[in-house]
Chain A
Amino acid sequence: GAGVSQSPRYKVAKRGQDVALRCDPISGHVSLFWYQQALGQGPEFLTYFQNEAQLDKSGLPSDRFFAERPEGSVSTLKIQRTQQEDSAVYLCASSLYQDPSSYNEQFFGPGTRLTVL
């Protein structure tokens, strides 16, 4: 079956431009996550949705970062006025549900590599 897909795979932006990154989770997955992976580092949590509700946005680095999932499926991560330090791979993950009493595997997409010049 289809996994998590992300688009675009690569994005080059000039400093100050706005960008929008899209995530299509696995069909039926309730939970959706965004992570940021800097070069040579592990992914860092950005935000978490359960259906359309954004339950945790504690990892968003600044108010220039905004995420939405209006219909509980596709999600968009938007970065306004991009800065060079925003250059990273942005990973989306989804899981079927979040049951605190059991393990819930997060399935990752291939990521969007953002380069800010």
Chain B
Amino acid sequence: QKEVEQDPGPLSVPEGAIVSLNCTYSNSAFQYFMWYRQYSRKGPELLMYTYSSGNKEDGRFTAQVDKSSKYISLFIRDSQPSDSATYLCATESNDYKLSFGAGTTVTVRA
């Protein structure tokens, strides 16, 4: 069993819709939870990270972590065609090793 499981895609939504992405993880020792965005033929880039449980908001993006259920979520409000990409959730163990989900490919239709 992988340490991080991510809801499979792909997701296709109309412009302006809310995008909801989810992951679960198995290791209760994880402290940092990240969301990366990866465009085609590019490396992942960090969108935001959360420490422990709680919510974090950055513009149109909101990340949520529920450590009691080992559940990670990312919400994108007012989605734009430029948000079309693969979104990867990740957790950090051993203070450096990132464990990634498989990624969800999102397409925002104009």
Contact = CB atoms under 8 A, between A and B. Distances in A.
Contacts of A113: 41
Interface residues of B, number: 23
B97 A105 contact: no
Interface residues on A, range: 20 to 34
A66 interface: no
A42 B100 contact: yes
B90 A42 contact: yes
A77 interface: no
Interface string B1-34: 0001010000000000000000000000000100
A88 B49 CA distance: 26
Contacts of A103: 32, 49, 51
A101 B24 CA distance: 24
